[in-house]
Amino acid sequence: MPGNATNSKLGVDRFHKPHAFDVRNGVSVFVGEEKAGIGGLPLPGQKIPVKSKMVPNGAGQPAPSWVAYDRQVLRFTAFFQEAVHEKREEKYRIRKCTILYYLEDDSIQVNEACQENSGIPQGTLIRRHRITKPAPQDDAFYDLDAFNVGNEVTLYSRRFTITDCDAFTRNYLTKAGTKVPAAEELEPADPYFEHRKKEAATMQPHRPYEKCDTLKQFLENDRKVLRFYCIWDNSAEMFGDVRELVLHYFLADDTMEIREVVRANSGRDAAPKFLRRSKVPKEVGALHKPGEITERTVLNVFGPMGHGGRYILDSLKTGAVQKQFYTDADLTIGAKVNVWGREVTICDMDEFTEHHFKSKFSVDKSHPIHYKAGEVAAIEREIPPYNGWGSEEDSRANCIKLIAQAPKRDFSKFMQKDRQGLDSHVLRYMARLDTNRPIDMDRTFIVSFFLSDDTISVFEPEKRNSGIVHGKFIERSKQAKPTGGYYQAEDLYMGAVVTFRSHNFIITDADEYVMNYAEKHQFPEADLDRIMSVICDNVPEASLTGEVREAEAMAYDNFIEFLESHCHMKLSQHAMLVVARHYANPAPLKVTWEFVLKLTREKLRMSNFDRYDELLQALSQAESTNDVELDPGDVYRACIAVGLPLTNDQLTALVQKVPKPNGRVDFKHFVNELQSRSGIEEDVTFMPDSNLTQPDTNRSGWFGLHNHEHKHHITDINVKAFCGDLVSMRRARSQTETRSTPSA
């Protein structure tokens, strides 16, 4: 009734609310389920577990459990009894297990050892995880307190009895303060397995199998093969001959195989094997009937065949067929091996086989038997002569192989020697025909040698009123020498006589690129050291008179005549030019208005330029004062606008050298001079475009490309330097000969 109820909070001085999180093993975890209500009083129906810790705290900073107990497992031996229904042999079964307790997370795993012919799925009975206790304590998990020798634990309705533990588990529990009893024979015997042991002990086989253990021989001799070189003389038969064989004897299982040596072009099919790998009997008789050779011999049979029948085995093997097979002891040099009716003679063996016989049988190698036939002289393949159709390489490929293949090119050389920027890698020569025919004596040809693939092309330039069609004379291809092989870059030089497609050519000149390339790569006819050595051997010292030594210079023609008089037929024209270039005093060619005008007319004629009216109109429009004189800059720009086919250096030289009386150009006279045809038949001396112009920044601001270095025309030779080098070379030779001559 109101006023008669007591206050439950009388005398209570704690009204705090417990915290729901705590720190365990250094990690914050939720522990609200284990806490009481307000003031520490339990909630209605709540069971607060008793806090007990089996392992005391250690000193120092506590580490997490998965670090402190990493890979630490307690191992217990246990068993459980399982009932067996409706079976006469057994009423129950004892199953042996191993319980693993993981200290890092209190998880449990149960494994069962496999028993022979048990018929039960064994192995992992309970996978690793935390297991709850049976009711009414199913709100808690098993911990270490429940596991000890002699304890019983219930895991998923199976009662496991712990009988023993390993040494680590016993030591750990002892250090934790738990007394571990000694191992006892608590495990009962399994009646079914005891019954099976008794039956197995009383069973005896009727006749044991004969054991033939070849594992030891295989392990000791695996991959060890003896090799013998043999012959099979079948010359007695029709169309028979002597066959070379190779016999392999395998020490691992005493088998042998034979392979035939089939020479190239012997006319025989290359069979995989002469004899497949097998044991070879010493005596070959008639083939045995099926079932005659067996591992067991049946003496008599009682009753029906198959199920229910009885038989007696012959332990003495009275009717067994005995066969003898070849072994390694039977294989020696000179021995005859009967290979299924074919008599094979062993003639030689390899080094490993020789070592095997010496180590096992203490037998030295006998003298080998000569069995190889004499080498047949190789028939040299005759290549038919080139008929002129296609390239010679393609024609040769048709003769070498049945199915013709295109000749392979040297791709690496092609990439290195192909055109790269301004470096063309093409050697150009001037040549003429070596003939006495008047119509062909004046013909000139341009011979181009391509370094990328060693091919040669011959082009005949146009010559007016000659009656000969100009153009390509020989297609680009490799040219064969009359003596064999193909022409190389070293074979082409000034003065050389070459033969291309039955035409004899004499090389008369070469361009500047050829001279520089030959001297850089030291071709035989451009090697200065070799040339000076030849001159030193052939020019006597008396020929070098005082006037010659003291002269500062000698004309080019006189110098060449001097070399030809002493080194005739020993130095080519190219070699003499190399010496002259080395000791030359260059004299630059003077650039005049007449010279530049001749070059420009020749260029305009070759380009078929005929737009002089447009050029005159452009120059007239550039002059606003109705005068006939223009500034050089206006002339330059008008020429560019019309498209005059000249390079920058040529146009600059043309405007620079045109007459300018008052510093201005008479453009009408300028156009008339360009349009005039006088003097175009004359030979114009070659000069590179870069040497035509000089920098002129005062008026027009143009710059000519004058920084390139070129060899100028040779006018005179520095004879003083030439004679000095020749004397120095002779002095060095004499000193070398003096040192090499032994003293008396």
Q: Per residue in 448-470, pLDDT tens? A: 999 999 999 999 998 888 888 88
Confidence of residue 707 (pLDDT cuts 50, 70, 90): very low
Instruction: Say if residue 58's pLDDT is above 70.
Output: no
Distance separating alpha carbons of residues 254 and 85, to the nearest angstrom: 58
**H helix or E strand, kind and range, residue 720:** helix 719-740
Which residue from 241, 238, 274, 271 is spatially nearest to 373, judged by alpha carbons?
241
Q: What is the pTM of this model?
A: 0.43
pLDDT at 498 over 90: yes
Q: Quick check: 344 and 337 in contact, CB under 8 A?
A: yes
Of 200 and 97, the structure prediction assigns the larger pLDDT to 97
The pLDDT score that the predictor gives to residue 567 is 84
Amino acid at 592: T
Q: How many CA atoms lie within 13 A of 440 on its CB side?
A: 11
In this structure, the number of other CB atoms found within 10 A of the CB of residue 337 comes to 21
Q: What is the DSSP letter of 725?
A: H
Average pLDDT over every residue of 701-722: 55
CA–CA dist 101, 165 (Å, integer): 11
- CA distances (Å), origin 46, targets 21, 35, 41: 18, 9, 10
C-alpha atoms less than 13 angstroms from C-alpha of 255 in its C-beta half-sphere? 10
Mind listing the pLDDT tens digit for each residue in 229-239? 999 999 888 88
Contact by Cβ (8 Å): 213, 219: no
Question: Distance (Å, rounded) from C-alpha 432 to C-alpha 503?
Answer: 10
The H or E element containing residue 736 is helix 719-740
Mean pLDDT of the chain: 82
Maximum Cα interatomic distance, the chain, rounded to a whole number of Å: 161
Q: Are 368 and 348 in contact (CB under 8 A)?
A: yes
The 8-class DSSP code of residue 51 comes to -
Handedness of CA 189, 190, 192, 197 (dihedral sign): negative
DSSP SS3 for 123: strand
Quote the CA–CA distance of 149 and 172 in Å, as a whole number.
Answer: 13
Tens-place pLDDT, residues 98-155: 999 999 999 999 999 988 877 888 899 999 999 999 988 888 899 999 999 989 999 9
Q: What are phi and psi of 223, to 5 degrees?
A: 65, 20
If we measure between CA atoms, which residue out of 417, 490, 493, 420 comes closest to residue 451?
Answer: 417
Token representation of residue 139: 């709100």
Give yes or no for a contact between 680 and 515, defined as CB atoms under 8 angstroms apart.
Answer: no
Phi-psi group of 49: left, alpha or beta (phi > 0 → left; psi -120 to 50 → alpha; rest → beta): beta
Residue 667 pLDDT level (bands cut at 50, 70, 90): confident
Q: How buried is residue 424: exposed, middle or buried, by Cβ count under 10 Å (0-12/13-18/19+)?
A: middle
Question: DSSP of 559-571, one letter per residue?
Answer: HHHHHHHHSTTTS
Q: How confident is the model at residue 19 (pLDDT cuts 50, 70, 90)?
A: confident
Tell me how far apart the alpha carbons of residues 65 and 69 are, in angstroms, rounded to a whole number: 6
Lowest mean pLDDT among 178-187, 206-215, 289-298: 206-215
Determine the residue type at 45: G
The DSSP H or E segment spanning 360 is helix 351-360
Q: Where is average pLDDT lowest: 180-194, 268-282, 571-585?
A: 180-194
Query: Other CB atoms closer than 10 Å to residue 519's CB: what's the count?
Result: 15
553 near 521, Cβ under 8 Å? no
> Taking the chain, what is the end-to-end CA distance rounded to the nearest angstrom?
156
Instruction: Select the highest-mean-pLDDT range: 79-93, 219-233, 316-330.
Output: 219-233
Using alpha carbons only, give the angle 498, 515, 686 rounded to the nearest 5 degrees.
Answer: 100
CA distance 493 to 521: 14
Nearest 5°: phi and psi at 483? -90, 0
- Name, in order, each residue with C-beta under 8 angstroms of 514's C-beta and a sequence gap of 6 or more: 427, 428, 429
Q: CB of 256 within 8 A of CB of 248?
A: yes
Radius of gyration of the chain (CA): 56
Higher pLDDT, 91 or 677: 91
Which stretches of 678-718 are DSSP H helices? none
Q: Name the percent of the chain lying above pLDDT 90.
A: 31
Give the tens place of pLDDT for each residue, 423-444.
788 999 999 999 999 889 889 9
Contact between 21 and 28 under an 8 Å Cβ cutoff? The reply is yes
Strands (E), 462-579: 471-477, 497-500, 503-510, 554-555
Residue 440 · residue 482 · CB < 8 Å: no
Binned at pLDDT 50, 70 and 90, residue 338 comes out as very high
Distance of CA 252 to the CA centre of its chain: 38
DSSP SS3 for 638:
helix
Element (H, E) at 596: helix 593-606
Give the number of other Cβ atoms within 10 Å of residue 249's Cβ.
22
The pLDDT assigned to 676 comes to 81
pLDDT for residue 285 is more than 50: yes
Rounded to whole angstroms, the Cα distance separating 451 from 279 reads 65
